[in-house]
Amino acid sequence: MADRWGLDLGALNITVHLLFGARDQVHSPDHGAVLASRIPGADRQVLPEAGGALLWTHPDVVFDAAGI
C-alpha cells in the first residue's frame, strides 16, 4: 500500500470505484480525494456512518460497486 504501485493512474481507462468510510481514521486522511483526483473518471464514495473494513461492515455497497 505504501510502496510505489508501478502504474500510471492517469492512464487508466476503466471504471474505478473508491469506497471509504468517513469514520476511518487510519487508511486515508482525505478519504481518497487525492487518489480519486489522479484517476480519470474515478467514482469516489464516502459512507458517512462507516469506518474501515467496508467489506465486512458494508458488503452490499462493496459488491454493488464491483458489479457482483
pLDDT at 66 over 70: yes
The residue written with cell numbers 493512474 in the block is 9
Note the pLDDT tens digit of each residue in 4-17. Answer: 888 999 999 999 99
Instruction: Assess contact for 19 and 54: CB atoms under 8 A.
Output: yes
Note the pLDDT tens digit of each residue in 18-57. Answer: 999 999 988 888 999 999 999 999 999 999 999 999 999 9
Note the pLDDT tens digit of each residue in 49-64. Answer: 999 999 999 999 999 9
User: Which stretches within 1-68 are classed as H helix?
Assistant: 33-38, 54-57, 59-66
| Positive/negative CA dihedral, 8, 39, 34, 53 | negative
What does the chain come to in residues?
68
pLDDT at 65 over 70: yes
Q: Which three cell numbers stand for residue 59?
A: 458488503
